[in-house]
Amino acid sequence: MTAVSAPSTGEGTAEDPGTQAQRRRTFAVISHPDAGKSTLTEALALHAEVISAAGAVHGKGGRKGVTSDWMDMERERGISVTSAVLQFAYRDQVINLLDTPGHGDFSEDTYRVLAAVDAAVMLLDAAKGLEPQTLKLFDVCRDRGVPVLTFVNKWDRPGREALELVDEVEQTIGLRPMPITWPVGIAGDLHGLVERADGTMHRFTRAAHGASKATSEVLEAERAAAEEGPDWERATEELALLDEIGAGFGSDEAMAAFHAGTATPVMFGSALSNIGVARLLDALVELAPPPGPRPDQKGEPRPVDAPFSGLVFKVQASMDKSHRDRVAFVRICSGRFERGMVLTHDATGRPFATKYAQAMFGRDRSTIEEAFPGDIVGLVNATALRPGDTLWAEEPVTFPTIPSFAPEHFAVCRVADMSKTKQFRKGIEQLDSEGVIQVLSSDLRGDQAPVLAAVGPLQFEVVSARLADEFGAPVKLDRLDYTLARRTDESGAAGLKGAVGIEVLTRRLDGELLALFPHKWRLQAVAQNNPDMLLAPLVADT
């Protein structure tokens, strides 16, 4: 299970980053928990023939897992805490699929992953439509200008009407739905899919519980009408309606709207039965954008064929107990990456040797020799690298850093056994730099009792478990009553000194001063009484 090598090209040279970028598709799946993201990931990989049988990716239900079940907590709770990367070949293209944790408490991690992709697949449960976590993640895609494809999953079991679902997408998130396939048969009684471009029907024979690819036969419209009767009639009527309202796909205008993030190609299927999954891969290859020029901090685009540049979007330690190390995941933005090349770490200006570059396939790793724009490289023992950092060669570039989410949960963290103070400090420092949690401190609280700030409370459990397991420093956490944070400055901090129920702390990672409030009413009152005080939201663009 190793990374695929780049397919050879007809034009240009195989090493030409511009040509190689054209054949990359780098994307993530966003969904509400239980919509079927793990199942779809397995099904995609199955179609791409990276793994021989579904079930090898996430290891649910006792199957062998190769991705993110690296922590006991994940196994116990059945949630995926860490993100994994899958790379596979499909139709002469190289697909990079970045996994995102489904649980809302880890949205910050998802946010970072979305900074590293060129497109996202929004996965909807046919019975539930748009769910809260999907909406939240979609907002991130919109903020970042990430084009979104929509896959309506679980059409093999009872659900809502297709028209109602596409209407919901339009009404709720204002994204123009442009179906490229349409179901024949209501949810729970799927016979096949109409291919809108040519009007044929792809009729499926269901695969046994996702164990192999579903087979399909292609029927011309006439035969489909004769054999499918009322179901076909209903599908064609619905399609005629879609044509009338101009929800078509295929024109240059439609492509531009999709790439601009104002329209979404919609497909239907069932990840579990492998229905519509190959169509989704085809759509990714045909419609999703390849890596393009990435704007730097000043808004100047770095072309894909410029010298090497990459963005660190994730840092993760101890993914596997047999490798007690720290991996920085780098999305290549431009140029050719060659193992061993010396890069510059933009934040420190120091050289960074890439001797230990790896391709990550879940838990499995293989040494990577070269990679191109859109690919993800894991740099092992990259202690200096932090999420949002830029690496470059030859021509300097600084990409905009990845903003942190606004924390809503706060707790004081103390070491349980004072003899482990050194380990505790080291652990806190490491988890802080990985971005597992935000660490805040003040002179008043001192070094021994930092305040941990989290987007979701499960992050506290991850921190406790890791401090105990990896650093041998069990901790006690005492929750604080604050629920929101605002960025302030020295004068704001001075103005808030002594204010009841409010505390100003310094975020260690970037030195930002954060004012913590118990609730929004307290914040509103303070803002009203001090109109000139800086009290800015933490993530500028959400």
> Which residues bind to ligand G4P, rule: CB under 6 A?
31, 33-39, 60-61, 102, 153-154, 156-157, 270-272
**β-strands 390-392, 342-345 pairing:** antiparallel
Least Å from the CB of residue 324 to ligand G4P: 28
Q: How far is the CB of 38 from ligand G4P (least distance, A)?
A: 3
Exposed (0-12), middle (13-18) or buried (19+): which is 289, by Cβ within 10 Å?
middle
CA angle 4, 10, 14 (to 5 degrees): 50
Q: How many CA atoms lie within 13 A of 458 on its CB side?
A: 17
Distance from C-alpha of 194 to C-alpha of 182, rounded to nearest angstrom? 5
User: What are the tokens at 226?
Assistant: 């004769």
Pairing between strand 93-98 and 215-219? unpaired
User: Which CB atom, from 281 or from 514, has the smaller least distance to ligand G4P?
Assistant: 281
CB of residue 104 vs ligand G4P: minimum separation in angstroms?
Answer: 12
CB of 235 to ligand G4P, least distance (A): 19
Closest CB to ligand G4P among 78 and 340? 78
Q: Phi then psi for 531, rounded to 5 degrees?
A: -60, -25
For residue 352, the Cα-to-chain-centroid distance in whole angstroms is 26
Nearer to ligand G4P, 185 or 335 (CB): 185
Q: How far is the CB of 110 from ligand G4P (least distance, A)?
A: 13
> Using CB atoms, what's the residue nearest to ligand G4P?
36
Residue list for the binding site for GTP:
99-103
CB of 180 to ligand G4P, least distance (A): 18
Q: Could you give the 3-state DSSP secondary structure of residue 248?
A: coil
Q: Which two tokens stand for residue 512?
A: 């930002």
Q: Which helix (H) or strand (E) holds 502?
A: none
The nearest distance, CB 212 to ligand G4P, in angstroms, is 15
Closest CB to ligand G4P among residues 137, 219: 137
Element at 390 (helix H, strand E): strand 390-392
User: Which residue's CB is nearer to ligand G4P, number 100 or number 318?
Assistant: 100
Residue count of the chain, please give it: 542
Indicate the residue among 33 and 303 with the shorter CB distance to ligand G4P.
Answer: 33
Helical segments of 106-198, H only: 107-114, 132-144, 162-173
Rounded CA separation 303/17 (Å) = 10
Binding residues: 99-103
User: CA 308, CA 298: separation in Å to the nearest integer?
Assistant: 18
**What is the C-alpha separation between 280 and 97, in angstroms, rounded?**
13
Q: How many CA atoms are closer than 13 Å to the CA of 231, on its beta-carbon side?
A: 20
- CB-based contact 160:135 (threshold 8 Å): no
Select 6 or 40, whichever has its Cβ closest to ligand G4P.
40
Sign of the torsion formed by the C-alpha atoms of 355, 356, 359 and 364: positive
Query: Who's near 171: CB < 8 A, 6+ residues apart?
Result: none
- Distance (Å, whole) CA 439 – CA 512: 11
- Which lies closer to ligand G4P via its Cβ, residue 32 or residue 486? 32
Determine which helix (DSSP H) or strand (DSSP E) holds 233, and give its type and residue range: helix 230-244
In angstroms, the CA 136 to CA 532 distance is 31
Q: Show Cβ contacts of residue 341 under 8 Å, excluding neighbours closer than 6 positions.
A: 308, 354, 393
CB of residue 97 vs ligand G4P: minimum separation in angstroms? 13
- Is 157 or 425 the residue whose CB approaches ligand G4P more closely? 157
Give the nearest distance from C-beta 64 to ligand G4P in angstroms: 14
Q: How far is the CB of 17 from ligand G4P (least distance, A)?
A: 34
